[in-house]
Structure 1
Amino acid sequence: MKTFRSDENQKEKKTQTTQSVNTKHTVKKKKKKIYSAKAKKDTGKLANRINVRMRLVAGLVAFCMAALVVYIGIRAALTNEVYERKALSQMNYSSSTLVAKSGEIYDTNMTPIAVSSRVYILIIDPKVIMETEAIDGRKGTLETTVKAIAQCFDLDEAALTNTITQSADKNYIRYVPEGWTSKKYLVTESQKEAFDALEKKVNSTEKKKETKTTQAQSMQETEGTSSADEEFESQEGAKIVGVWFETEYQRYYPYGNLASKVIGFTTKDSSEGIWGLERYYNEELRGTNGRSYSYIDSSKNLIRDVIEPTDGYSLVSTIDMNLTKILSDTASEWFYETDENGERVRTAKSYSILAMDPNTGAIKAMVTDTDYDLNNPNDLSSFYTDEELATFADNEVKSEEYEKYLEKEQEKLKEQAEASKEKADDDSSNTQDIIEIATASPYAAYLNAKGEWDHSAYPTTTDVQNEIWRNGIISNSFEPGSTGKVLTYAAAIEEGLITEDTQFDDSEGYLNIGRTMVKCHNYALGGCGIIDAKDAVAQSCNVAFMEIGKLLGPELFVKYQQLHNFGQKTGIDLPGEASCEGLLYTADQLGEIELATSAFGQCYNVTMIQMAASFCADINGGYYYKPYTVESILDQDGNVVESVKPTLVRQIISEETSATVRRALEYAVTNGTVYGVQVADRENGVKMDGYDFGGKTGTAQKLPRSEDKYIISLISAAPISSPQLVLYVVVDEYEGNDEDGSAPVQYLSGRLWYAIKDYIGLYSELDADVNDYDWQSASPSDDSMSGESLFTDSQGDEAALPVPPAVVAKEQTDAAAENPDENIIDPEAAIADPADANAAPDSNDVIDLPAQPAADANAQ
């Protein structure tokens, strides 16, 4: 029963469950129908909403796009120029200097003496070469181009190849061989022409191969082909590309060392004059460089703009190179003698020769024993031994080391002073510091008392270079000696204090000035006796001229020194002239002894150019002309743009006085101490008779007097009755054989006149201009005492000769009185003041000059 009930219950439950499921299913079906209808209604609404939103978004996007377009348009319009510049800056742009050609320098006969030769800078484009190499059918272009460059310019193939491959992304290289000291490699005109011909031949041959013509064979048959050319032509498809040249000019001096002190030279790139005319007329000669601008635009068009260079003007100088050559050769032959050992030795420390037109001031020649090769001015081997040059170089290194050492030590002292707050404001403590540092330094042996490098005792390479390069004829000062008597004589004649017949008593050979006995050069012979003024000039009588000095007095004597331009620059158109200001006494400084000695040419200083200009005025009628070296300036077409006329500064004496001076100078040659100027060849007894010479000798004792060293000189003119040429010859410390006093310079002057007489048209008044001469009957007189002191005090002891003012403890041969270093310059630096080509350079700017190229564009 129990089981039955249970089954019955289960059936009932099952039935209920089934009914419940059926009920739910029915409900679901009903709901589904309801939801389906509703969904259809909602879907329509959603589609409408989406369409609205899409329209809104599309409108918004359209609006934004329109706004962006408007914005871009406005922005482009406003910033077009900015963006254009940015675009152009990203394009391929280049610019290069077009070098102006410097004007030439001619002598007075229009012979070129300084010219500019066209040279070229080798430029290589590695990018073009490598890109061409990579093109099908152009394999071998790199090798062919390298071979062509190496063959034409004597360069190393391996080095060239390495440079090109290592710089394959570059379009521009100024090729410089490894180890080359210069910043560029210069190519001559002939080298460039050879390369251009080879490039044209190789490239045209390849073109003809491409067009399958036989013209290459025809060209080979007519022109001939070298083995190198055949090798180039064998490179199928290879070309020579990526090589071109920039034009430059190199200064060249056809006559080497002739007139070097006048012409001067330039920096290595010829952009700046350093000495002589090259420096003084730098602005006129150099011209103005041009410029080339080029770039590739967006359409790959080459846009090029050129500002053409303006070549420099040319100069026509007053210098006569024929005259210069004759004087130089003759003097050089005289300068050397053969000693007892058969060795060729110098006869003197130095010599200088100046030739001048007395009627205009035109300089016709300047010759010295240190005339240097203008094409290679750094070469000092002609003047010094290898050992001397090595010493100079060593001194250069040591002096630079000392400057660095001194700077370092001074910096230490400065730091110590600042730390201890004991820094002094005056210069005295600084000077004392330098002296203390110098004394304790390892360079003490090379320094002077001021703690500075002693350049006189330990010259450097720079010192000797500047000494060789500078023009001593205008920059060296010295006491003139008896040539100064011409001024004294002219002044006294002009003032009417004497006539040529005024007599003086030199019967004792000396004159007492205060407590000092001043002797005449004829003292040992009992003096010159009773002598008139004209004969006093001829015999160079010191006693007579001391008496003339008394008659003039300090005021008149100084007046005529100033009229003769002593103590002032002459204004010659060359750089580095000294004035000697401070090396002459003022009127209130001229005591009795100073006036007496100045009257016969001691105790004041002059330069050669000052003395020559003064002498010219005394013999040409009294007219003082400014010396000059350029007579005209030409434009690029050879037209005269400026003609330089002689500049008359003033008349310093009358024509009558000048005639009186000329008679005295002529008498000095025919009957006095200047007899030797007529001697053409002493050894062979050749004398020039009938020639109208006039002149005056000078023998001046150098400082310090105790060393007993002399400068001897002779200034002469011909024909003296109507002077056409003045020759001034100065010899420093003559050491030749068996000649004392001024005799050596007289014989040299005689040789010079004899050598040039035919060239300048100087003729004898006699039928024969060369005669046998008996040397036993006469010889040149002497206006010195061969080393014997002219001064004795009242006790009979030798007294010191007075010295020029401001030169106590100073060598009288300093380059420039107002600044001894005024002529030491920086060869690579620009002129101190471009507006003043004669501005004195700063002595602190001295540096080494880079090697000057010779005729070979790349000579090192």
Structure 2
Amino acid sequence: MKKRIRLRTLLFGGIMTLLFLILISRIYVVQVVEGAKWYDLAKIRWSAAEQLVAKRGTITDRSGNVLAMDTIAYNVSVNPQMINENGLTEDIIDGLHEILGISKDELRGIVTAKKEDGTYLKNREVRNGGWQIEKSVADEIRKFRVELSEEKEVYDVGIDLAENLKRYYPRKTLASQLVGFLDRDGAAMTGIEAFFDDQLRGEDGYIKYEKDGKRVQLAEGDVEYKPAADGQQVQLTIDNDIQHYVEEALQEIVKQYAPKSATAIAADPNTMEILAMANMPQYDPNEYWKNNSSSYNHAIKSLYEPGSTFKIVTLAAAVEEGLFDPDELYKSGEFKIKGVAQPIRDIKRGGWGTITFLEGLKYSSNVAFVKLGYERLGSEKLQSYISNFGFGTKTGIELGSEQKGVVNLRYPLEIANATFGQGVSVTPIQQVAAVAAIANGGKLLKPQIVKSITDPLTKATQTFEPQLVRQVISEETSKKVGEYLEQVVSDMDKGTGKNAYIEGYRVAGKTGTAQKVDGKSYSTSKFVVSFIGYAPVDDPKIVVYIVVDEPNDPLVGGGKVAAPAFKQIVLKSLRKMGVAPNYSADSENALKEVTITVPDLTDLSVAQAKAELNAKAMTYELVGNGKTVLQQIPAASSAVHPTQRIYLITEQREKLAIPDLTGLSLRDALEITSLIGIRLIPEGQGYILSQKEETLNNVRVLKVVLAPPFGEASSSELDEADQQETANQ
């Protein structure tokens, strides 16, 4: 018995010893042989990482007004498993339907989503309608969550809100095709957003650290940190106000003529900085999915036969070559090309008889330009000038998908037609660059849409200067062509551009009406109408091109549809720029300032008053939110400059906000501020240059800086009555 016990003891001890040796050897393997491997795995288990999201750079206009920015948004997701376990399916569907506006059928599919094995999912995103929602909507969901949790006595109702960054366009439709948009996944799709995506998007950072079992960071653990690099800030050349003027004018065209599209570009001809670029119909990039087709930028992507606006190129070439004599006579009506059965005819059947070439320009005679371009310049020179003005090649503007146009002239008829803008296809931006070259002394410049790009961290700024492509015509030719084009606008009898005339300013311009190709021939009912011009002729500050595709009336042309919009845009823009008006001579050759009489608008509805002022191309500002004009400043029958803003008072004084008083005389400003009930504190003499609202001794005051008009001593400085009224205030 003792021997048996001893053997069992030895056996047990041997087994224990063997197990201990195995354990020691395993520990050795784990700690020494494979120590590094297991240490690395442990570090992974200890470690935690967080992504540091970079903010996308802002996009602003030339004055710093924000057009695109990042803002906080929220994404909604649900837990179908938890919702169904707690019996909250119908409550969640009803609540989210009411808050997010998503259909109940769609929500039911999300809330009851299952795996292939039939079990409910634990997470499902509410993408369509619950993605990147605003804080106000997120707050409603939070409130709903709390109320439902208390009502059903459950800790978690299965709705989650994740905070992230969202691209936001504070000015909504303004310049939307130019700025572009990001899709729901943050991908840049169009416009500046897409072209400058590398600069705007920045680079995400991260932080990696070691944690304990409670996910608390270890004080002495390793930390790896890379800060997020925010995107660069892109400042555009566009002017927020001029962009608004342009879009407002296009909206009037759409309202009256219902075209397929309407496009306009405004630029500074001396630098080719784009001041405005707009298209109709519009879309809101904050809700791009509602009208995504309207994100198309016709200004750089669409090709049009320019029609008679292209005659400017033929005219400039003929003047440069010494082939245009404004007083030379020719026979209008038709021009026969050898070997071509159908002659080229003027828009007026039979023409205007024997007239001068300058009259041919005013009437927009096709025959005059065939004679100049086809007969005198010839194919080689004409095509050389067309090419030198930039047609047939991309302008290089910093926007994606720009088209280069089509200029393919082989046969005599094609060359003859090209002289008056038929048979060639161009983009609006090419038209603007070419006419800007004629306005600025003959220099073709690359269109510029970006003024600067700034790094938000280092503040290093890259600026963009005007880029000369080539000298196309001489300064002397530029001046002559401007004077000829001015007569197209100023001649109220013969000028096709007379509707673009702005009293007090010298305006050069040209109308265009082009038949659209329908199949293999030209349509008799579908037209593209346009107007392009610049002002003032002697010192150009702005060039504007307006093109309208298929207005609903086939009998209207560029002079009726586009020229009035041009007038409205240019008048408001020159006024904003502070450009001095030109002066006209009276019968005694003494210079007098051009004025216009203010109509009586009191007691009219706001719509009637606006219509009357628009008809006179007078600028105005509504003061108040009423529907009837209670008072106007300046008063009816006052003689004012055409650029003077008319203020329409529509509410009682206690409801009025302070309007923009820039450009007003002190007397008119005093009258307005007296109505509002705010004290005016003037500095200087003349007309208001700037204004600033302040609080002085707990009283609201408006400080204004005045200056003589256009840098000279005002001929109507403050009289004693003005000074006394100021003292009384």
Could you say if the C-alpha distance between residues 354 and 673 of structure 1 is closer, same or farther in structure 2, counting changes exceeding 3 Å? farther
What RMSD in Å do the two structures reach over aligned CA positions? 4.7
Say if 2:502 is the partner of 1:688. yes
Could you say if the C-alpha distance between residues 322 and 664 of structure 1 is closer, same or farther in structure 2, counting changes exceeding 3 Å? same
List per-residue Cα deviations over 1:452-509 (Å, max 9, x = no partner). xxxxxxxxxxxxx44x221111111121112112112222333x34244473522554
2:340, 2:195 → 1: CA distance?
50
Could you say if the C-alpha distance between residues 85 and 675 of structure 1 is closer, same or farther in structure 2, counting changes exceeding 3 Å? same
- Residue 265 of structure 2 aligns with an amino acid whose one-letter code is L
1:697-736 equivalences under 5 Å are 697-704=511-518, 705-708=521-524, 709-736=526-553
1:173, 1:60 → 2: CA distance?
50
Q: Secondary structure of the residue that 2:262 maps to in structure 1?
A: strand
Q: Match of 1:356? A: 267
Which stretch has the larger CA shift, 615-624 or 180-189?
A: 180-189
Say if 2:415 is the partner of 1:599. no
Q: CA deviation at 1:610?
A: 0.8
Could you say if the C-alpha distance between residues 306 and 239 of structure 1 is closer, same or farther in structure 2, counting changes exceeding 3 Å? farther
- Residue 100 of structure 1 aligns with an amino acid whose one-letter code is A
Q: Secondary structure of the residue that 1:375 maps to in structure 2?
A: helix
Q: CA deviation at 1:289?
A: 2.2
Does the 8 Å CA contact 1:353/1:730 hold for their aligned counterparts? Answer: yes
Could you say if the C-alpha distance between residues 371 and 253 of structure 1 is closer, same or farther in structure 2, counting changes exceeding 3 Å? same
Q: Match of 1:107? A: 61
Alignment coverage as a number of residue pairs: 569
1:674, 1:321 → 2: CA distance?
36
Say if 2:164 is the partner of 1:248. yes
List per-residue Cα deviations over 1:677-724 (Å, max 9, x = no partner). 5547xxxxxx73231100112222221345213222111100011111
Q: CA deviation at 1:756?
A: 4.0
Aligned counterpart in structure 2 of residue 275 of structure 1, from 182, 190, 198:
190
- Residue 192 of structure 2 aligns with an amino acid whose one-letter code is L
Q: Secondary structure of the residue that 2:287 maps to in structure 1?
A: coil
Q: Match of 1:628? A: 448
Q: CA deviation at 1:330?
A: 2.9
Does the 8 Å CA contact 1:539/1:673 hold for their aligned counterparts? Answer: no
Q: Match of 2:300? A: 474
Q: CA deviation at 1:768?
A: 2.8
Say if 2:355 is the partner of 1:538. no
Q: Match of 2:71? A: 117
Q: CA deviation at 1:305?
A: 5.5
Does the 8 Å CA contact 1:348/1:736 hold for their aligned counterparts? Answer: no
Aligned counterpart in structure 2 of residue 577 of structure 1, from 393, 396, 402:
402
Structure 2: stretches of 5+ with no match in the other structure: 102-106, 116-120, 585-592, 600-729
Q: CA deviation at 1:566?
A: 0.8
Does the 8 Å CA contact 2:149/2:157 hold for their aligned counterparts? Answer: no
Q: Match of 2:437? A: 617
List per-residue Cα deviations over 1:732-777 (Å, max 9, x = no partner). 233349745743333333343344442233424242343799xxxx
List per-residue Cα deviations over 1:104-146 (Å, max 9, x = no partner). 111112111112111244689999x99xxxxxxxxx9x99xx9
Does the 8 Å CA contact 1:351/1:732 hold for their aligned counterparts? Answer: yes
Q: Secondary structure of the residue that 2:313 maps to in structure 1?
A: helix
Structure 1: stretches of 5+ with no match in the other structure: 1-42, 131-139, 203-227, 338-345, 381-464, 681-686, 774-860
Q: Normalized per residue, which structure has more helix?
A: 1
1:387-402 equivalences under 5 Å are none
Q: CA deviation at 1:728?
A: 0.6
Could you say if the C-alpha distance between residues 618 and 184 of structure 1 is closer, same or farther in structure 2, counting changes exceeding 3 Å? same
Could you say if the C-alpha distance between residues 528 and 657 of structure 1 is closer, same or farther in structure 2, counting changes exceeding 3 Å? farther
Q: CA deviation at 1:569?
A: 0.9
1:244, 1:733 → 2: CA distance?
50
Does the 8 Å CA contact 1:514/1:592 hold for their aligned counterparts? Answer: no
- Residue 279 of structure 1 aligns with an amino acid whose one-letter code is A
List per-residue Cα deviations over 1:586-617 (Å, max 9, x = no partner). 5xx2x322222112221111111111111111
- Residue 286 of structure 2 aligns with an amino acid whose one-letter code is N
Which stretch has the larger CA shift, 711-720 or 741-750?
A: 741-750
Does the 8 Å CA contact 1:694/1:717 hold for their aligned counterparts? Answer: yes
Q: CA deviation at 1:293?
A: 4.7
Q: Match of 2:235? A: 316
- Residue 252 of structure 2 aligns with an amino acid whose one-letter code is E
2:149, 2:527 → 1: CA distance?
72
1:266, 1:309 → 2: CA distance?
20
Does the 8 Å CA contact 1:174/1:184 hold for their aligned counterparts? Answer: no
Does the 8 Å CA contact 2:499/2:560 hold for their aligned counterparts? Answer: no
2:495, 2:348 → 1: CA distance?
20
In the superposition, the TM-score normalised over structure 2's length comes to: 0.66
Say if 2:181 is the partner of 1:265. yes
Q: Which has the larger radius of gyration?
A: 1
Aligned counterpart in structure 2 of residue 69 of structure 1, from 11, 24, 27:
24
1:70-149 equivalences under 5 Å are 72-73=27-28, 75-87=30-42, 91=45, 95=49, 97-121=51-75
1:140-539 equivalences under 5 Å are 176=125, 180-182=126-128, 186=132, 188-189=134-135, 246-269=162-185, 271-293=186-208, 296-297=211-212, 301-302=216-217, 307-337=226-256, 346-380=257-291, 465-466=292-293, 468-494=294-320, 496-501=321-326, 503-506=328-331, 509-521=334-346, 524-532=349-357, 534-539=358-363
Aligned counterpart in structure 2 of residue 765 of structure 1, from 559, 567, 583:
583
Q: Secondary structure of the residue that 1:603 maps to in structure 2?
A: coil
- Residue 367 of structure 2 aligns with an amino acid whose one-letter code is V
Q: CA deviation at 1:320?
A: 1.5
- Residue 627 of structure 1 aligns with an amino acid whose one-letter code is P
Could you say if the C-alpha distance between residues 485 and 299 of structure 1 is closer, same or farther in structure 2, counting changes exceeding 3 Å? closer
Q: Secondary structure of the residue that 2:531 maps to in structure 1?
A: strand
Q: Secondary structure of the residue that 2:570 maps to in structure 1?
A: helix
Does the 8 Å CA contact 1:679/1:751 hold for their aligned counterparts? Answer: no
1:125, 1:292 → 2: CA distance?
29
Does the 8 Å CA contact 2:488/2:496 hold for their aligned counterparts? Answer: no
Could you say if the C-alpha distance between residues 75 and 508 of structure 1 is closer, same or farther in structure 2, counting changes exceeding 3 Å? closer
Could you say if the C-alpha distance between residues 310 and 196 of structure 1 is closer, same or farther in structure 2, counting changes exceeding 3 Å? farther
Does the 8 Å CA contact 1:327/1:755 hold for their aligned counterparts? Answer: no
Could you say if the C-alpha distance between residues 542 and 75 of structure 1 is closer, same or farther in structure 2, counting changes exceeding 3 Å? closer
Q: CA deviation at 1:519?
A: 3.8
Q: Secondary structure of the residue that 1:600 maps to in structure 2?
A: coil
In the superposition, the TM-score normalised over structure 1's length comes to: 0.57
- Residue 321 of structure 1 aligns with an amino acid whose one-letter code is N
Q: Secondary structure of the residue that 1:743 maps to in structure 2?
A: helix
Q: Secondary structure of the residue that 1:118 maps to in structure 2?
A: strand
1:656, 1:728 → 2: CA distance?
24
- Residue 358 of structure 1 aligns with an amino acid whose one-letter code is P
Q: CA deviation at 1:523?
A: 5.3
Could you say if the C-alpha distance between residues 378 and 553 of structure 1 is closer, same or farther in structure 2, counting changes exceeding 3 Å? same
Does the 8 Å CA contact 1:278/1:285 hold for their aligned counterparts? Answer: yes
Could you say if the C-alpha distance between residues 78 and 539 of structure 1 is closer, same or farther in structure 2, counting changes exceeding 3 Å? same
- Residue 408 of structure 2 aligns with an amino acid whose one-letter code is Y
2:233, 2:494 → 1: CA distance?
42
List per-residue Cα deviations over 1:527-562 (Å, max 9, x = no partner). 452424x44433333223222222222222222222
1:522, 1:125 → 2: CA distance?
71
- Residue 440 of structure 2 aligns with an amino acid whose one-letter code is N
Does the 8 Å CA contact 2:75/2:133 hold for their aligned counterparts? Answer: yes
Identity %: 28
Q: Match of 1:419? A: none
Does the 8 Å CA contact 2:515/2:522 hold for their aligned counterparts? Answer: no
Q: CA deviation at 1:570?
A: 0.8
2:347, 2:14 → 1: CA distance?
127
Q: Normalized per residue, which structure has more strand?
A: 2
